[in-house]
Amino acid sequence: MALINCAMCKKGTKEISYLKYSIILIGVVGFLIFIVIGEKKNKLAEMRYQELAIKGIVVEINFFKSDHGTPSFYINGGWHNFDLQGHKLIPYTIPNDSLVKKSGSDTIQIYRKKVGGEWELIIAR
């Protein structure tokens, strides 16, 4: 009877060992898939940002919950979100400033109207 119990103990230990390794393997594969998908989304966002061309006056700046904390700018009758690049603009941008971004460039220029009516370049980010 003792021999049967020891054989069953070893078999149960092997099954637990395989289960442990299987769970670890699934976790590692899942983590790698998560990283690959994140990188793909990041590259897509960078491409969209590079292709974006915008020129207009900022009417309003708002932080919507759906944008996960990034600022949205109301320009030319629509809301525009520059993703993480928007955080670089917030310290320098106020309503009535002009934002200019050319397609193929990652630089956004911010202009502000002076008292005399001339536009002054505040910053190019």
Domain boundaries, the chain: 1-51, 53-124
Confidence of residue 98 (pLDDT cuts 50, 70, 90): very high
Per-residue pLDDT at 13: 67
Per-residue pLDDT at 8: 53
Per-residue pLDDT at 37: 95
Model confidence pTM above 0.75: no
Percent over 70 (pLDDT), the chain? 89
Per-residue pLDDT at 6: 55
- CA-nearest of 96, 101, 95, 103 to 125 is 101
Mean pLDDT over the full length of the chain: 85
Q: What is the pLDDT of residues 15-59, one digit of tens each?
A: 778 888 999 999 999 999 999 999 998 888 888 888 888 899 999
Per-residue pLDDT at 26: 95
Tell me the three-class secondary structure of the chain, residue by residue: CHHHHHHHHHHHHHHHHHHHHHHHHHHHHHHHHHHHHHHHHHHHHHHHHHHCCEEEEEEEEEECHHHCCCEEEEECCEEEECCCHHHHHCCCCCCCCEEEECCCCCCEEEEEECCCCCEEEEEEC
**83 is written with which tokens?**
């993703």
